[in-house]
Amino acid sequence: MTTTERPIVLPGDTIPPHLIPSSTTKPLRLGPGLRHVPPSDIVPVVAGQLITNHQKNSMWVEYNNNRYLPTPGDLIIAQITRSGPDFYYCLLSPYTPHATLPHLSFESATKKTRPQLLPGSLVYARVILANKHMDPEIECVSQSTGKSDGLGELKGGMVFDVSLQFARRLLMSRSREEGKVEVLELLGEEGLAFEIAVGRNGKIWVGGEDVKVVVAVGRALRETDEAGLGVEEQRRLVRRLVKGMK
């Protein structure tokens, strides 16, 4: 991610034009914490750190919030609560209205071949519709390619709750920046085999054949989040957890 300034903004502040990405080939994407006021104003609606990604021509406000607000494009982990004639009804968080997941929003799905998801099943999905007048809608297939692109049912494994800010940090750039979360790379360097899916709704799914590894990865993520560990502290944490597994 290419970032230059990360100023602190307050609700209603005016954002200087030079901080707004200006790609001529990509539409400007506004993430959490920002609102477009016609014709051309972009206004913060929360207090936090303004982040700009010039490569993706996007910007958002980084802030700590205990309530998840769905935003189109978000990758989330949802739990199936029930099935209707055309939709699954999914829980994104305790404070969010149930989202709808069309039965055919899966790769190569037809009425005969669509997944049969039972209540309690987990899916990794993308938010495609979210506004205050309608329930959110999610999908498990890319509308442009028709492929799952890693989305779909999450089988086995365990789900761990983390803060929304920590989930956003995990989904951000892989580059070495201030505040980078390296705990996953460090666990991989220790030879631990696992799969992971990170949801912007503050949920992380960890899968793997060894239950001890799954639990260790979940503990590492939770402790890194709750204690706000730096890179060196993350290294010590990983060494301690791996030593405890032997």
- pLDDT for 89-101, tens place per residue? 999 998 888 999 9
114-172 per-position pLDDT tens digit: 899 999 999 999 999 998 788 999 999 988 888 999 999 999 999 999 998 899 888 87
pLDDT of the residue at 131: 84
Average pLDDT of the residues of the chain: 88
Question: Could you give all domains of the chain from N- to C-terminal order, each with its CATH number?
Answer: 8-62 (2.40.50.100), 75-155 (2.40.50.140), 159-245 (3.30.1370.10)
Residue listed under structure tokens 């960890």: 206
Indicate the pLDDT class of residue 5, thresholds 50, 70 and 90: low
Residue 84 per-residue DSSP state:
-
Q: What is the mean pLDDT of residues 16-41?
A: 84
Rounded Cα gap, residues 19 and 17, in angstroms: 5
Which has the higher per-residue pLDDT, 7 or 140? 140
* CB contact at 8 A, 167 and 222: no
Rounded Cα gap, residues 79 and 57, in angstroms: 31
Model confidence, pTM? 0.80
Which has the higher per-residue pLDDT, 2 or 64? 64
CB count within 10 Å of CB 224 equals: 24
Indicate if the pLDDT at residue 178 is higher than 60. Answer: no
* CB contact at 8 A, 44 and 71: no
Q: Which of 44-48, 114-118, 170-174, 178-182 has the highest mean pLDDT?
A: 114-118
One-letter amino acid identity for 205?
A: W
Q: What is the mean pLDDT of residues 1-18?
A: 76
Indicate if the pLDDT at residue 241 is higher than 90. Answer: yes
* CB contact at 8 A, 130 and 79: no
